[in-house]
Structure 1
């Protein structure tokens, strides 16, 4: 039994050695292509097959394709694309020869693989057309059409084609847009419309004509943000004039961003009710946010607060009221206007939960201005500090999720810390103060202050992804250095008393990797971490612990 040993430890190294053997044999011409012997090793037989493919030994390759061993047959097929693409072998790669001279001697699986390889690689239109003619009465014969000539395709689809085939034909030529009537009538309407979308940029006007033609009974398919953006740049007026037709097809947030800001109010008055914006107030808000500030304030005041000029009827407005409280509209007011109005409402409100919900609304109005944030926090300290922790925690979590507190000046940060102390952030352990602890840590690290041990012990250090987006390069490096120093110093890497202790270390290392990812760092930047992971894997193997380490082995 002839065998051949490949050099190398990994599959990649072995494959490279195999390729070198093939290349050396072809270059030196020192080889003998004896028939496949099934008593020889696979490597030895595959070496002969690949040499035959490299040297274009047609007879040998054809014989191997007839092999009952799929490994050998499929290798011969895969490595002999030249047999398909080179015109000099057209006497072999044609329907008649394949079906009379090859098919009877090949396994069904190997023959089907060969036909697939031909269909994917043969681009000669006349030869592809011969295959289509031979196979047109069989299932999936349409798969050959896309590589045929346009006149041939026109004749071939005189009845109907599946939607997937029509989509491929459109990629070949926009000429086939006019052949829409031949799409399978039983196809789902949404599939029929989706077939046109890839042509939207190259044949915009033609595709829009089709989409706007109600007689075609096309179903709604979402275009997505990019295609909507393209339409609003190229045909904004056409889209807006037919906005009700496109309501469920285009991305309305993009429409709000690109349309003339001074026309939004009139647009909403005309279309908001008919287009069902009451059922999705988020879409409505996209438009309102993009209004000029002065007009936005007047519009909200009249339409949703005073309700003197209603956009919706009573039933419609009830949908909005069920998910959007009346005072939340002040979120879109300038803080100078929203604050006095909201504080007046807060004074009249008896429920602490509602008062703090109102205060949370002011966060969104103030979040981009440090002076306004300071005013809001001062108001909380002076008027609303003595309430249940759960209400304050909801407010504070909202604040920390929307405002970069590490950018606060000293006075504003001290005010926030008073709120933290009133909640027991530094002492209590029952409540989940993760966001508070994270904000304290990031603040202390960036200002070169010591981080309280009590805070470090409570924080999970699981992710600082949102915070990382607000830091500059220097701040990121300073913070990641602190994190790695802290985590590795407090993590056990040897002498595990039990498998449970080992799992605890894995969880901590997973947190480290998550943090590296959040800060766009890679393991290659920190080789000592890679070494720690390798050591942990060895410890697992020595102790024969069946512990999944995939969370840290990337």
Structure 2
């Protein structure tokens, strides 16, 4: 037999070893004892043959040897020794502890125990091992493969040693261990962790698991998949107890499940009681999700009644039923505690339509307002314009007319917000924005309002929009633009303009690289940075360097020119 395994890599050598085991006939091999002095290949092949032919005597001899390589191979190749009831006379706690274990090394014993716990699934046999074990912590490790009744009977005595992974394994057999665990005197966060780790029980025993959740005081959170499953199997469980489940379920999934016209009902249902104003787990963002999920008419009515007109505060004149008025008042009171999310009441116009919000907001704008409040109004109006070309044009015309010579901070806010929230501009609207709000940035000033980041934002926007509308970019823009690949705009511009933009950027970086001729230390570092930017440009636009010899030649020339110098 070969003393070395053939093959250029580990997989090939494993394959060769398996072929060796299959090709050798058992009758030509001696199984009287394991020869430690023989090569590993010979002994491993013998173990494989013994396993294949269930030569139990030889396998037991191997388990008693001192070489863990052979012990591990025997255990790996002989799962039948543990799982097959025909070998129960060997794999039982009494025989192992009294006969086999004393003849094995401690490492081999540990390994065999591990394999038995892993492979043995016969409940009665596993329960024998459990009963034989004197150490409670060791006995607990046998429990997952015992019968459900046996688990329930013995689980509580091990409660101090139960960790969450083991609890999960036990709950795969029965939900009872979780019930017992939650009833015991265990720290709160551990109970919460146990419930969170066993959400798979929703698909095993939905009713009982939700009973446990509802009777708990733990901050449990179901993800989108769990929420979908509950809604599919028993939606009424959530619908009838939304006051509890609002903090447990994924609220966006719940809102997607609802009919649009029912969203308002469940929002008010959340705030029926006075305690709702003090709910710990209601978040501002969650309530915003409710508003945005409503049909436009319901959303407008809710915002108008609760946050703008505040009709719930006029007790004698409010025509609404008292329960609804209470819900509105509780909702308003709660939102008033979230003022860090919004400062001005006109914030709520963001959830209405442009046709409703624009004339209302224009009425309240005055010269007495602070710059901060006007900036907030600017953002609100741009949000409700919702990327509609008609509305954006109307908005731009208004601000161009009234704030042409206004505070630079308002101009800056207008530019930042309109390009953060909108992309659908026509040529005339773009020209008005550029001429009215961007004129100042073309000149070097000491005004700290126009910081470098803002200037570069304007340069980027000018490059993008000038390219779309005129196809030309002025030299002053080229000079002020701090080069980057403009990757973030790729999906925001028309497809036909993308390749044009790439060509403009490629030409721009090429010119910048060629402008660095003298290789003093400063020029050297600048050129390295520019070449790096050129490579980033190709990478960000999914281009191959080999397709752009102009960049490749520049890199080659640069390397050659610096090869012998010490810059």
1:208 pairs, out of 185, 195, 210, with 210
Aligned to 2:168: 167
Deviation at 1:414, TM superposition (A): 3.0
Does structure 1 residue 326 correspond to structure 2 residue 345? yes
TM-score normalised to the size of structure 1? Answer: 0.73
Deviation at 1:389, TM superposition (A): 4.7
Q: Which moved more, 1:471-480 or 1:359-368?
A: 471-480
Native 8 Å contact 1:160 1:182 kept in 2? no
Aligned to 1:549: none
The Cα offsets for residues 186-245 of structure 1, whole Å up to 9 and x where unpaired, read as 333313433552222443333333333x4xx44231112332233344434332322222
Deviation at 1:179, TM superposition (A): 7.5
Q: What is the alpha-carbon distance in structure 1 between the residues aligned to residue 269 and residue 365 of structure 2? A: 35
Does structure 1 residue 352 correspond to structure 2 residue 371? yes
Aligned to 1:225: 224
Native 8 Å contact 2:192 2:218 kept in 1? yes
Does structure 1 residue 198 correspond to structure 2 residue 200? yes
Deviation at 1:342, TM superposition (A): 1.9
Could you tell me which runs of 5 or more consecutive residues in structure 1 were left unpaired when the two chains were aligned: 9-13, 544-554
Does structure 1 residue 454 correspond to structure 2 residue 478? yes
1:431 pairs, out of 441, 445, 452, with 452
Native 8 Å contact 2:140 2:158 kept in 1? no
Counting only pairs closer than 5 Å after superposition, residues 304-343 of structure 1 correspond to structure 2 as 304-310=307-313, 311-312=328-329, 316-324=334-342, 325-343=344-362
The Cα offsets for residues 240-286 of structure 1, whole Å up to 9 and x where unpaired, read as 32222223222334334433443444444443363346963222222
Aligned to 1:288: 291
Native 8 Å contact 2:129 2:142 kept in 1? yes
Could you tell me which runs of 5 or more consecutive residues in structure 2 were left unpaired when the two chains were aligned: 314-327
Compute the RMSD of aligned alpha carbons: 4.8
Counting only pairs closer than 5 Å after superposition, residues 86-485 of structure 1 correspond to structure 2 as 86-135=84-133, 137-157=135-155, 162=162, 164=164, 165-173=166-174, 176-177=175-176, 180-181=179-180, 185-187=184-186, 188-194=190-196, 197-212=199-214, 214=215, 217-272=216-271, 274-276=275-277, 280-310=283-313, 311-312=328-329, 316-324=334-342, 325-387=344-406, 389-403=408-422, 405=423, 407-418=424-435, 421-422=438-439, 424=441, 430-433=451-454, 435-440=457-462, 449=471, 454=478, 458-461=482-485, 464=488, 467=489
Q: What is the alpha-carbon distance in structure 2 between the residues aligned to residue 436 and residue 255 of structure 1? A: 41
Native 8 Å contact 2:513 2:531 kept in 1? no
Other structure's SS at 1:55 match: helix
Native 8 Å contact 1:437 1:459 kept in 2? no
Native 8 Å contact 1:426 1:454 kept in 2? no
Q: Which moved more, 1:349-358 or 1:49-58?
A: 49-58
Other structure's SS at 1:432 match: helix
For these two proteins, the number of residue pairs brought into alignment is 506
Deviation at 1:326, TM superposition (A): 1.0
Q: Which moved more, 1:99-108 or 1:196-205?
A: 99-108
1:367 and 1:163, CA in 2 relative to 1: closer, same or farther beyond 3 A?
same
Deviation at 1:510, TM superposition (A): 8.9
Other structure's SS at 1:323 match: coil
Native 8 Å contact 2:506 2:534 kept in 1? no
Deviation at 1:424, TM superposition (A): 2.1
Deviation at 1:293, TM superposition (A): 2.0
Native 8 Å contact 1:265 1:291 kept in 2? yes
Q: What is the alpha-carbon distance in structure 1 between the residues aligned to residue 391 and residue 107 of structure 2? A: 72
Counting only pairs closer than 5 Å after superposition, residues 496-515 of structure 1 correspond to structure 2 as 504=529, 508=533, 511=536, 515=540
Q: Which moved more, 1:179-188 or 1:243-252?
A: 179-188
The Cα offsets for residues 429-462 of structure 1, whole Å up to 9 and x where unpaired, read as 9521455455555556777936667289514337
The Cα offsets for residues 156-204 of structure 1, whole Å up to 9 and x where unpaired, read as 447565473443233235xx45972465613333134335522224433
Q: What is the alpha-carbon distance in structure 2 between the residues aligned to residue 480 and residue 107 of structure 1? A: 70
Other structure's SS at 1:424 match: helix
Native 8 Å contact 1:331 1:365 kept in 2? yes
Q: What is the alpha-carbon distance in structure 1 between the residues aligned to residue 153 and residue 440 of structure 2? A: 78
TM-score normalised to the size of structure 2? Answer: 0.71
Deviation at 1:371, TM superposition (A): 1.7
The Cα offsets for residues 15-70 of structure 1, whole Å up to 9 and x where unpaired, read as 12321331332233299896334xx9xxx63x456534543446666555556565
Other structure's SS at 1:340 match: helix
Other structure's SS at 1:262 match: helix
Other structure's SS at 1:309 match: helix
User: Where in structure 1 do 4 or more consecutive aligned residues deviate above 6 Å?
Assistant: 30-34, 425-429, 444-448, 471-492, 495-503
Q: Which moved more, 1:287-296 or 1:393-402?
A: 393-402
Q: What is the alpha-carbon distance in structure 2 between the residues aligned to residue 63 and residue 483 of structure 1? A: 75
Aligned to 1:55: 49
Larger radius of gyration: 2
Other structure's SS at 2:338 match: helix
Other structure's SS at 1:221 match: coil
The Cα offsets for residues 341-362 of structure 1, whole Å up to 9 and x where unpaired, read as 2223333443223212211111
Aligned to 2:14: 19
Native 8 Å contact 1:302 1:308 kept in 2? yes
Q: What is the alpha-carbon distance in structure 1 between the residues aligned to residue 43 and residue 534 of structure 2? A: 48
Q: What is the alpha-carbon distance in structure 2 between the residues aligned to residue 448 and residue 25 of structure 1? A: 75
The Cα offsets for residues 354-392 of structure 1, whole Å up to 9 and x where unpaired, read as 212211111221124222122223323332243455543
Q: What is the alpha-carbon distance in structure 1 between the residues aligned to residue 511 and residue 119 of structure 2? A: 58
